[in-house]
Structure 1
Amino acid sequence: MRRVLLIAIIGLIIVFTFSACSNLADIGSAFAHNLSSSKDKSSKKDNPQVNKSGNVSSSDEKKSTPAPPPPRDVLKSGEKGDDVKDIQKKLNKFGYTVDEDGDFGEQTVYAVMDFQHRHGLTTDGIVKGSTLDDLKKDPTADVMYQPTAAVVSNANSANIESIVNQVDTQSYTNYYVMVNIAQQMVYIFNGTNRNWKLIDSFQCASGTGGTPTVLGHFFIGIKGPEFKSGEAILKYYTQIQGNYLFHSVLFDKNGNLLDGTLGKSASHGCVRLALENAKYIYDNVPIGSGIWIQ
């Protein structure tokens, strides 16, 4: 009986021992597997990878920043970018006050057109060729935009200023033009919205009843030294809208006066002026200046 009991105890000890070793072996195997996995992951993270071309790359390597596009040779209305902003900076160097926002909007178009006019270039508002070349030059007094002028002071000036300053006006320059059809008068102002100061005034001749002058708010557009209408030569024209213009009274091809009527309706819709006054607007009131014809 004792022998049987002893044999049973010895058997249990042997079974327990092998069972414990088996558990230890499993745990050790699992630990070794985890360690191996950890090393593999660390190796993938820290070691550089070889790409298909055979070059070594790293996940920590910074991505290269693409080079900015080169400046465009032609810039026009509606375009945006740093090269537009550079054009705006160049315009301001010539005395303009264009927002340097990189947006080629109306303000920039009119400034470019006025710049082209002062340089004897085609006033199309597009920056290219000769316009771009001239913008790169240093400004000179004869082509600088000059937004100031002497203020007229008389008994009637305050009344005229109050009329224009009672309404919101828009101008892309420091000049504003008001045409009073009933008075057959043109008034030139310098300043800003709600703070316009009268600097000049003169008689005009507007359109007749059959061909009236257009009414409303506009901006000064293209300009030219003269054009021909039938047998008449009209000098120093400044665009109001479409074919509606400020221009001189009528001359023949030899420079003789054909029709100098002022102070009443006489034109085909344009605003006629004495020669010196048409030249004043042509020379001094910049493209993009606001116009109000009432």
Structure 2
Amino acid sequence: MKRVLLIGIVGVIIFSFSACSNLSSIYNREDAQKVNVGSNITPHPKEKKPVSPPRSILKAGDKGNDVKDIQKKLKKFGYTVNEDGDFGEQTVYAVMDFQHKHGLTTDGIVSGATLKDLKKKPTADIMYKPTAEVVSNFNSAYSEGIVNKLDTQSYTDYYVMVSTSEQMVYIFNGSIHKWRLINSFQCASGTGGTPTVKGQFFVGIKGPQFESENGAILKYFTQFQGNYLFHSVLFDKNGNLVDGTLGKSASHGCIRLALENAKYIYDNVPIGSGILIQ
């Protein structure tokens, strides 16, 4: 009887162990299935916007990160430009002045040699200079009193005012309503038959010299509107002075200056500077 009871107890234990093992294996299979099912579910990857490679030519009207990179490079050379990725007038004028300082074609387009030079390390001689030394501030209270009452427009820290009634040019440094006279000199504007255009303009392209229709050589020209320029008095091809008239109307519409003053604007007044001719 005891033997039978013992065998029965052992059988129950074995059955119980076997049942637990089978039950455990069932749970393990279910867990495995859950894991396998879960592993087959993959989240949708976030769509990445394609990144456009930098363009080899950038010009007015372009927008994008490559434009922003050009603006960062211009700021490295001292230019005040917004890093907004918009190739607007502010950036165009800064590029043109950069090109002028590097002896490149001043077309405002970034490509080739311009892009190569923008990647170089700035040096003092080619940096944009926001502050200028005073050459002459004679009668500054008068000219500053006029210009600082105006809502002037300039893409640089420089401004030019021309008074055709006085035949005088005034050069300022600073900002709107805070202009400071740094230089002034006589000029010769257009005659009654070929008057100088009046209004607000900006310094445009520059060049070392050009030849007029009658063969005269005009040195250190700076554009302010179309074919209207600041330039030197007249010389012949041998460098001899032909007409040095200043202080009265004498030109065909341009603003004539003494050689050293034409060179001053050419060297020191950046492209994009505002101009008022009245």
Please state which band the TM-score falls in when normalised by the shorter chain.
0.7 to 0.9
Q: How does 1:69-84 map to 2 (within 5 A)?
A: 69-84=52-67
Tell me, in whole angstroms, the C-alpha distance in 1 between the residues paired with 2:162 and 2:111. Answer: 35
Q: What RMSD in Å do the two structures reach over aligned CA positions?
A: 1.7
Tell me, in whole angstroms, the C-alpha distance in 1 between the residues paired with 2:135 and 2:105. Answer: 34
Deviation at 1:46, TM superposition (A): 4.8
Match of 1:94 among 62, 68, 77: 77
| CA deviation string 1:151-196 (max 9, x = no partner) | 4676621111010010100100000000000000000000000100
* Paired amino acid for 2:165: A
Deviation at 1:48, TM superposition (A): 3.0
Q: Which piece of structure 1 moves more, 64-73 or 168-177?
A: 64-73
Percent identity, please.
Answer: 75
* Alignment gaps of 5+ in structure 2: 1-33
- Structure 2 residue 232 is the aligned partner of structure 1 residue 248: yes
Match of 2:193 among 194, 198, 210: 210
Match of 1:48 in 2: 40
Cα distance change, pair 228–154 in 1 and its aligned pair in 2 (3 A)? closer
Instruction: Select the structure of larger CA radius of gyration.
Output: 1
Match of 1:110 in 2: 93
* Paired amino acid for 1:116: Q
- Structure 2 residue 158 is the aligned partner of structure 1 residue 166: no
Match of 1:35 in 2: none
Deviation at 1:63, TM superposition (A): 2.7
Cα distance change, pair 154–82 in 1 and its aligned pair in 2 (3 A)? closer
- Structure 2 residue 271 is the aligned partner of structure 1 residue 287: yes
- Structure 2 residue 190 is the aligned partner of structure 1 residue 198: no
Cα distance change, pair 265–153 in 1 and its aligned pair in 2 (3 A)? closer
Match of 1:273 in 2: 257
Match of 1:130 in 2: 113
Tell me, in whole angstroms, the C-alpha distance in 2 between the residues paired with 1:227 and 1:155. Answer: 32
* Paired amino acid for 1:129: G
* Alignment gaps of 5+ in structure 1: 1-41, 50-57
Tell me, in whole angstroms, the C-alpha distance in 2 between the residues paired with 1:73 and 1:194. Answer: 40
Match of 2:125 in 1: 142
Output the TM-score relative to the length of structure 2: 0.84
Contact 2:137 2:183 in 1 (8 A): no
Number of corresponding residues: 243
Deviation at 1:68, TM superposition (A): 1.2
